[in-house]
Amino acid sequence: MTRVAVIGAGPSGLSQLRAFQTEAQKGAKIPEIVCYEKQDDWGGLWNYTWRTGLDEYGEPVHCSMYRNLWSNGPKEVLEFADYTFEEHFGKPIASYPTRPVMLDYVTGRAKKADVRKWIRFRTPVRRVTYDADTGMFSVTVHDLFNDNEYTEKFDHVVVAIGHFSTPNAPHFDGIETFNGRVLHSHDLRDVHEFKDKDVLVVGASYSGEEIASQCWKYGCKSVTISFHKEPLGSYKWPDNIKEAALLKKVEKNTCTLEDGSTVDVDAIILCTGYKHHFPFMAKELKLRTANRFAPASLYKGVVFADNPKLFYLGMQDQSYTFTMFDVQAWYVRDVIMGRIRVPDRKARMTDVEDRVAREDASVKNLSDEICYQADYIKELIAETDYNFDVDATKEVFFQWVKHKDEKFLGFRDNCYKSAMTGNMSPLPHTPWKDNFDDSVESYLTE
C-alpha cells in the first residue's frame, strides 16, 4: 500500500488529513497516512503555550502567538468550504474570532473527520532522505514520550510545518547594551508586561502593526513603530503610537533611528519576520525560498520541482490561509492518488519561473497580493473538487482593507457576509478595544 508521511498537524497538515479522509468517506481506497507532530496537541501556531525558548523536552517551542491574539482578518476569508463557522458553533458568530475560537474551529473539523488517529504526537521529525533506487523516502522521527528514535519508509512526504516559527532576528548596533527587555515577536506571550512602558516595535508588517495595537490596548505608555521601507499605510494612530524610521543603533535605553532622531524606551520588540527552516530535510530536498507569494522551487506552489513525490504546504506568504491550505491539500491528494499528472522537471521549473515573474510584475500592494493569491486558489480549484466563491471572499478582503484604513484600532468591530452560507455575521457584542475576555464562551455571547 502507498504510504504518505504528513509532517505537522497545524492547519495545513490537518487540511491534508481532511483531504484524504473525504475520499475515504466516499469509499475510495486511500493511502496509509502517518502524521508526525512535535507538539502534544494539534492546531499548530494556534495551540498556545506559555513556554518560550525550549519546551519540556528541550525542543524549540513552535508557538509564535501571544495569549490575547485575535484573528487579524475576517473569518469570512478563511472559512472552510466544507465546514462553516455556523456549522461548527451552531449559529452565526462575529467576524474577528479570538485565538481560542479559531483553534476550536480549525480543530473542530478535524475532530469531526476523526483523523486524530493518524497523528503521532510528541514525535518531531529528525531526518528525511530519498533513495532514488527504491523511490522511497526514509523518515526518522523521535518519539519523545518513549525517548525512542525510529525510521519508516514512505512513498510520499508532505511537509506542513509552517514558516512562522523560526525568528529572523537581525543584529542592531549596540543592542547588547540595552537596559530592558529585547525580544522577538515569536517569544511574545502577554503584553500586560508593557503596561505604562515605552515600547519600540521594529518592523512594520502584520506582526508590527498587530503588536503595536495590542500594546496600546493593554495600556502601554507609548509605542514607536520603526520601519524599514514603507510606512504602514494611512492609518490614523492615537497620540501615543507613532511610526518612525528604522532603528540604527542602541545605547542603553536610547534608540537612534536612521533619520538621526532618538527615542528612549523600556522594551524593544523585534517584529522582523521569520525564516523558512527545514533542518531535518536532506540537502537536495530542502526548500530554500524567501517569504513571497510565489515560493521558489514549488510547481503549482506545492510540488517540490526537484522531486515531485515531495510536497510543501502553506509555504507562500499568506493573504488566504485555511482555504488556501485546503485547495493545496486537495491538489496534493489528487496528485498522490494519480488523478493529476505532474509534468517533467523542465515544465515544472518553467511553471515556477512564470509564477515568480508574474508576482514580480503584478504585486505592488496589499490589494495586488490578495488578487494574486485569489487567482492561485482558483487555479488549483479548477483541478480538484474543492470549491467556493473565491471572488466573494476577495470582496470581503477589500472591505477589510478599507476598514483597516478607516480605523485601524477599530477594524475588528465590523462584520461581513459568509461566502459559504450567504449569511451576514452579527456585530461583536463589545468593541475590540474594550473586550479583554478572549474565551470561546464570551465570544459566543450575544
Ligand X SMILES: Cc1cc2nc3c(=O)[nH]c(=O)nc-3n(C[C@H](O)[C@H](O)[C@H](O)COP(=O)(O)OP(=O)(O)OC[C@H]3O[C@@H](n4cnc5c(N)ncnc54)[C@H](O)[C@@H]3O)c2cc1C
Q: Are 124 and 142 in contact (CB under 8 A)?
A: yes
User: How many residues belong to the site for ligand X (CB under 6 A)?
Assistant: 33
Q: Which of 4, 9, 110, 250 binds ligand X (CB under 6 A)?
A: 9
Strand-pair partners of 3: 32
Q: Are 201 and 223 in contact (CB under 8 A)?
A: yes
Piece of the chain touching ligand X by CB under 6 A; list 58-66, 131-139, 304-312, 397-405: 58-66
- Closest CB to ligand X among residues 71, 384: 71
Closest approach of ligand X to the CB of residue 254, in Å: 29
- Closest CB to ligand X among residues 318, 425: 318
Burial (CB count <10 Å: 0-12, 13-18, 19+), residue 135: exposed
Cα-flanking dihedrals φ and ψ of residue 142, to 5°?
A: -120, 110
* DSSP annotation string for 132-177: TTTTEEEEEEEETTTTEEEEEEESEEEE---SSSEE-----BTGGG
- Which parts of 270-299 interact with ligand X (CB under 6 A)? 280
Piece of the chain touching ligand X by CB under 6 A; list 44-52, 87-95, 176-184, 402-410: 44-52
Q: Which of 45, 61, 267, 396 binds ligand X (CB under 6 A)?
A: 45
Distance from C-alpha of 264 to C-alpha of 254, rounded to nearest angstrom: 4
Piece of the chain touching ligand X by CB under 6 A; list 157-165, 212-220, 335-343, 376-384: 157-165
Residue 37 binds ligand X (CB under 6 A): yes
Q: Are 323 and 393 in contact (CB under 8 A)?
A: yes
Burial (CB count <10 Å: 0-12, 13-18, 19+), residue 439: exposed
Residue 125 binds ligand X (CB under 6 A): yes
Q: Which of 5, 22, 55, 73 binds ligand X (CB under 6 A)?
A: 73
Closest approach of ligand X to the CB of residue 357, in Å: 25
Distance from C-alpha of 49 to C-alpha of 363, rounded to nearest angstrom: 35
Residue 279, C-beta contacts closer than 8 angstroms, at least 6 positions apart: none
Piece of the chain touching ligand X by CB under 6 A; list 158-166, 284-292, 297-305, 403-411: 158-166
Closest approach of ligand X to the CB of residue 7, in Å: 5
Residue 167 binds ligand X (CB under 6 A): no
Distance from C-alpha of 265 to C-alpha of 181, rounded to nearest angstrom: 10
Q: Which 8-state DSSP code applies to residue 424?
A: B
Residue 443 binds ligand X (CB under 6 A): no
Residue 104 binds ligand X (CB under 6 A): no
Q: Are 221 and 392 in contact (CB under 8 A)?
A: no
Closest approach of ligand X to the CB of residue 29, in Å: 26
Residue 39, amino acid? Q
Residue 160 binds ligand X (CB under 6 A): yes
Closest approach of ligand X to the CB of residue 251, in Å: 30
Residue 318 binds ligand X (CB under 6 A): yes
Residues forming contacts to ligand X in the complex (CB under 6 A) are 7-13, 36-39, 44-46, 62, 64-65, 71-73, 78, 124-125, 160-162, 164-165, 207, 280, 314, 318, 321
